[in-house]
Each structure stands twice: as structure tokens, then as C-alpha cells.
Amino acid sequence: MTPANTPVASPRPSACPGLWRIVSARDGGICRIKLPGGLLLADQADAVAAAAERFAGGVIEATNRGNLQIRGIGSDHAGLVECLLAAGLGPRDAASDDVRNLMLSPLAGHDPSMLLDVRPLAGQILDLLQGTPRFHELSAKFAVQLDGGEGVAMLDHPHDLWLSALRLEQRDWLAFGLASCPADGQVLGAVPLEQGLALVRAVLDRFLDLASPEQSRMRQLLQGCPAEVFINSLGVQIRRDTAVLEWHRQAAEHPWLGAVTQRDGMALGVAPPLGRLSPAMLRGAARVARQWGDGSLRLSPWQSLMLTNITAAGLEQARAALSALGLLCQADEPLARMVACTGSSGCAKGLAETKADAVELAALLGSGAPGSVHLSGCPRSCAVAHVAPATLLARAPGRYDLYLRDAHLPGLGALRGTDLTLNEAGAMLALPTEHLDD
């Protein structure tokens, strides 16, 4: 066992926060807790809340990869890490923790639309990542998605490797792609479900065989090594007929906020405003999960929580209790349609107080807010992993450039307004436009 006060280095340097790697920011240290498939048990939620109060400033954030992070951490890094490890929230070495980047649907195993329960395979993949020393050489940002065909699913986040369930000839297969996402990525082939773990191992091994130290992500490697060349030497039999190569993942159908039907019973999706939880919110959500659910919370890539197996008799009581905590329970609530990065109060690169500005903008737009509005304090666009329908990019305190997503344009899309005040931006966003869809 590695003592909590012993520095443990990752083989590949990174500025990305982790459980062991507490990264400095303007408002203190940041510790990211990578959850297995987004799963957080109620007792673990209590431990995170206690750690945020004892070792930090009490700010907890839900991330867009289904994880949690604590902000404003003081000097006792070892105490914080040991507290989280004691709750079973990570391995006792940084290298194993860094590579735990596997995203599932928050309703994996419960979604009525799913083609298969991917949780057993997810467990095998996580064991492979954590337990294979060679894979510890991967970047802390290298990410895998495992999609079981759920209706509640994030299909727009790019991943270095994604696998998506499909059924052909009464058999379960996994289609896969590289450096893209299931929504619009090129399908490179498929393997039988039982070969899924072998495919993941082969892809990771091949990547590490070919990538230079500067090529930390799959997209960088594929700039010089075409995807067809990459997969030809994987050593795994891959199906590449028309039925596979012309397959397209159907769009997700179900909302992720409010009451959601699951295979047996109901789930309840709630969102902390702008992704930020107080310790009281997290404790309260854990209490509701114990009282009316199955004692677990599932973090989602929409910076939200989902409580599964809520009893029918307790659904409205659970919703009322969560709403009283300040959590958003309906998709039409204006703040539920806002995403904002940390902003200038917590990040030296931020040019505006994006979270405060998002609250003001939500009030201006009211229930007429468009599909999703992203306020970014700098061009890095940390708060979302894909391009939002509307992006406000800060250029000075309270001043933004407005971009609307356009599939024909790179980056944030089409520039529609420059140096706008929040009032001016709100007026433009209130206008009907085909680009501001959900």
C-alpha cells in the first residue's frame, strides 16, 4: 500500500486533475474523482461532502464525463486523498487512477431501450485499464465510451475509442470508432460482444506501439496513420460488411431530467445549477437515494445526477426533497439549459465571471431559453466536450462573442455577434433560429 503522503507520479506528465494529482487554480486546488461508470454510492457521496468541507471550500462539481471534482482545496492534500481512498473512491496509485476514463449511460443496466447490459464488460475494461502497467502510459485524458444502446445516452462527446451495441442475426455485436463519437463518427467495424475486451486491449496496445510522446490522443495519431491502417494490424477478427459499415446509432430519445422510465420502476434525474453541488446538496441527494431509491447516485455527462430504482410511491416525495435542496428537476428550468465554466474567479485564463453571468442570462431568457447555451471564459471550452447550439465566448468582464453551431464550420460555429453585453446576447438568443435546437 502506498502511504497517502507519498507523492506518486504518473508515467505521462499531465495538467489534468485526478484523485492523486491536485492541480492548482485561482480558487485553490482541484481534485477529480473518477467514478466507475459514473456510479457513486450514498455513503461515498457523504464522504465527498465531508472531504469538501474539511479540506476545501465546500465546492463540488459534476463534470461532463460523469465524474466529480472538489475545488478550493487547501494545503492538506494527503488528508483529502486518504479520506477519499478510505471511501473506496480510487486506487492507491496515481497511474491506475489516471486511466479510469470509461463513460457509460447513467441508466446502463436499467434503460428500457438498451440492447444489452454493458456493466459486466465495463467492469472488465476498468480492470484492464487499472491492472495493466503498460496502459498506465496513456494520457490522463485518453477516454473510452461503452454504449449499450440506451435511450438516455450522451452520443456527442468525442472519445479516443467508442464501442456501441448493435444486434445482427440474433447476435450481439459491438460497433466501434476512433477519435469520434457514436452520433456522427465513422464506424470502422464490429466485433462479437465476447470479443469486446480483446478489441479494447488491441486498440490500446496498438496506440502505444505507434504514438510518439507528443501524440497523447488518438486524433493526433490518426493525422499520420489512417484509421484503416491502424485497424488492419489489431490481431482481432473484425466484421466490416455493409450491414456494419452503414449502421448508424439512433439518436437518444429520452430526457435526462425529471422522472425517467427504467426497466423496473422509475429513475429521477436532477441537476445542480451550473454543475455545482454544495455538501448539503450531495448529502441530501444521498439521503433521498437511501430512502426512496437503491442507495446509489449516477453521475451523468450532462453534469447531473440520476437516482435509480425510485419507488412509485416515493417518486413525488423524492422530487420535492431534491427540489428543496436547490437541485433542478425539470428540463424547462432556465438554468438547466445553461452550461458555464469556472470563470475568472477560479481560473486565471477566464476573462469573465461566467457562472454569475449564466445566472443573469437565464433570468433574461426565462423559460424561453434555447436548447443549450454555453458560456466559456476562454477558447479552451472546458465546460463542454462538444459544440453547444449556442456559445458565448468571453472577451472581457460581462462581454461576449456569440457563436451558433454550424455543422459546416469548424470550431464553435458561425460568429453572430461580437463584444455583446448580456442583455444584447439575451435579445439575440431569444430570436427563433434553426441552429438553437436541443
Instruction: Give the C-alpha separation, 179 to 199, whole Å.
Output: 15
pLDDT in the model for residue 5 = 42
Q: What is the Cα 419 distance to its own chain's centre?
A: 30
Cell numbers 495538467 correspond to: 15
Q: Are residue 263 and residue 310 in the same domain, yes or no?
A: yes
Q: Is residue 28's pLDDT more than 70?
A: yes
Q: Are residues 353 and 418 in the same domain?
A: yes
Shared-domain flag, residues 387 and 360? yes
Structural domain of 341? 336-429
Point out the domain boundary residue: 192, 214, 245: 245
Query: pLDDT, tens digit, for every residue of 162-182?
Result: 999 999 999 999 999 999 999
Cβ contacts of 53 within 8 Å, gap of 6 or more = 279
d(CA 315, CA 207) in angstroms, rounded, equals: 46
Flag whether 23 is in a domain: no
Question: How many domains does the chain fold into?
Answer: 3
Q: How far apart are CA 345 and CA 352, in angstroms?
A: 8
Q: Is residue 250 part of a domain?
A: no
262 with 373, same domain: the answer is no
pLDDT, position 167: 96
CATH code of residue 318: 3.90.480.10
Predicted pLDDT of residue 13 = 55
Say which residues have a Cβ less than 8 Å from residue 358's Cβ, sequence separation at least 6. 274, 335, 338, 339, 340, 373, 375
User: Does residue 129 form part of some domain?
Assistant: yes
* Residues 354, 325 within the same domain: no
Whether residues 220 and 265 share a domain: the answer is no
401-410: pLDDT as tens digits: 999 999 889 8
Task: Write down the residue that cell numbers 465531508 correspond to.
Answer: 50
> What is the average pLDDT score of the chain?
92
Q: Is residue 46 part of a domain?
A: no
**pTM for the full predicted model:** 0.91
| Contact in structure between 74 and 55 (CB atoms under 8 Å) | yes
- In this prediction, residue 369 carries a pLDDT of 56
Question: What end-to-end distance do the CA atoms of the chain give, in Å?
Answer: 47
What pLDDT sits at residue 1?
Answer: 36
Beta strand spans in 251-312 (E): 258-261, 266-270, 276-277, 296-300, 304-310
Residues 125 and 217 in one domain: yes
Task: Assess whether 400 and 423 both reside in one domain.
Answer: yes
Greater confidence (27 vs 371) lies with 27
CATH, residue 179: 3.30.413.10
State whether 123 and 208 are in the same domain.
Answer: yes
Looking at the structure, tell me whether residues 131 and 218 fall in a common domain.
Answer: yes
Residue/partner pairs of 402-407 with CB below 8 Å, 24 or more apart: 402/428, 402/429, 404/433, 404/435, 404/436, 405/435, 406/435
Query: Is 122 a member of any domain?
Result: yes
Evaluate whether residue 119 is within a structural domain.
Answer: yes
* Co-location of 263 and 208 in the same domain: no
Whether residue 236 is found in the same domain as residue 274: no
